[in-house]
A and B are shown apart, each in its own frame.
Chain A
Amino acid sequence: MKAALIGLGSVGKGVAGILAKKDLGISITGIADSKSGIMDSMGLDILKVLDTKKNHGYCGDRNISSEDIVRKGDYDVLIEVSPTNADSGEPAIGYIRTALSRKKHVVTSNKGPVALAYKELFTLAQKNGVSFRYEATVAGAIPIMHTLEQGLAGNDILAVYGVLNGTCNFILTRMAAEGLTYEQALMEAREMGYAEADPTYDVQGIDAAIKLVILANTIWGDGVSLSDVDRTGIDLLTPEALRLAEDENCTIRLIAEAIPRKRILRVSPRIIEKDHPLVVDGTLNALTLETDMAKDITLIGRGAGSIETASAIIGDLLYIKNHYVQRS
């Protein structure tokens, strides 16, 4: 199977590295970063491209753009892993639309397009008989979409709730464990590379809310958007509040929850018993699915990281390879 890779940041490098290392029957015929691109329908030497990126800061020919590869490249599946733009979803939505229109499968880790244009892209994929997969957008390495699609097939999903933002979970873990203030814990998160220079997106619950929207649309197809989420962040929490929770053998975690029968779509800090399965440490993610037949299923795992996210993308790629594409 031939793949084109758009985006060569942490996730893109992770995917390229794994495809170079493991013999999965997937070759890369095009790679683009934000400045350049490179194509070879016979398959690129991935390690060489990664080397060029490392030494020069860009991966290929400055005259070849992401769009060129998406529009003209020879590939079966587009791997779209450029950075998330939560406001417009562009340019990723455009890339995905083009690829799907060309009857190419798409795998993405980019939350923008899935949160903003899910219905359009999903319908377009269906119309063209190709697959649009986005396992990596929610809870990193946790195979939540595969679990919903295959493992829990036939179940009614009644509710989904959990910890979907590792940065917030790290901050809350450190505030509880060391009595740090929010500001101190945030600084520590930055030093560890878990928080961006502008942490708003994480700490005000926007990232978790976007993931919740993706889950809700995937499960119930109800067309909800970010503005439908009732959202409270963690930036006003005090170490005293965590201590007060601790006195009752509880702690505080940022919980995203979607419960259609109660009309709840919410991200908010919650008091939660310390031995509750959703109380995970550090940057881990955890989520519980409540279903009619299987009852409760809780999944815990790494919510971010280069190779961890690559794991989710590789899972999607191999799904497509096994279900749609026979040639390798």
Chain B
Amino acid sequence: MQVSMKLEMKDSPGQLVAALKPISDVGGNIIAVIHQHDPDPDHDNLDVQIVLELPEGRLETLVALLKKQGVHIQRIGEERLLYKRTVIMIGHLMHTGLSDTVDQIDSTGFAEVCELSMSMPAVNERSSSRITIKAASKGDMESALVILRRVAREKSLLMIEPLEAIAE
């Protein structure tokens, strides 16, 4: 099963590694770790969101182990796909098989189309759509976008991507 957790721990060296160790102890596999450093310097805690793959029935053991490490679990959820990206596609979306376009993303297993808005002004005219994709990690999102770009090229659709924050 895939689980996402929001953890809070002391922001000191070694804490994160110590907190992540129980996951491998119970046979889990970490898919993504997202740091959220607190902008308040007086607040010396570290918030981390993690996504992990866990063998069935191990969640309770993991929670117990984490608590023992002094990690505070703020939230446990099944919301596994953390990265969202919205693109706009223009062209003959219906004639070129909209469900196939969506399926090419959904069938990856690591990303899925979670929202789709369409606007079709008239029959035979190009339609426009806004497609939101969710993925488990940044790398998975980029892989999903690579697929979508290829599909757009093959189907002569204009794909408009967001201007992302470039500084990384």
Interface residues of A (CB under 8 A from B): 158-159, 161, 232, 236-238, 240-241, 243-245, 247-248, 250, 252-253, 255, 257, 259, 268-272, 276, 278, 290, 295-296
Contact = CB atoms under 8 A, between A and B. Distances in A.
Chain B interface mostly: strand
Given A161-B166, A241-B90, A252-B160, 5 more contacts: A240-B127, A243-B119, A255-B163, A270-B163, A271-B163
B167 interface: yes
A243 B90 CA distance: 12
Contacts of B160: 237, 241, 252, 268-271
A240 B118 CA distance: 9
Given A236-B158, A271-B88, A244 B163 contact: no
A257 B165 CA distance: 12
A229 B160 CA distance: 17
Given A244-B88, A244-B117, A271-B88, A238 B163 contact: no
Contacts of B129: 244
Interface in B132-168: 158, 160-163, 166-167
B126 interface: yes
Given A240-B127, A244-B130, A271-B160, A290 B117 contact: no
B128 interface: yes
B86 interface: yes
B166 A159 contact: yes
B87 interface: yes
B141 to A, nearest CB: 15
A279 B34 CA distance: 29
B121 interface: yes
A48 B166 CA distance: 52
11 contacts: A236-B126, A236-B158, A238-B90, A241-B90, A244-B117, A250-B162, A270-B160, A270-B161, A271-B160, A278-B163, A290-B166
Nearest to B121: A240
B163 A236 contact: no
A241 B128 CA distance: 5
A247 B90 contact: no
Contacts of A278: 163
A244 B119 contact: yes
B167 A245 contact: no
Contacts of A276: 163
A271 B128 contact: no
Interface in B76-134: 86-88, 90, 117, 119, 121, 126-130
A248 B86 contact: yes
Interface in B44-97: 86-88, 90
A250 B126 CA distance: 21
Interface string B9-43: 00000000000000000000000000000000000
B156 to A, nearest CB: 10
B158 A232 contact: yes
Contacts of B88: 241, 244-245, 252, 271
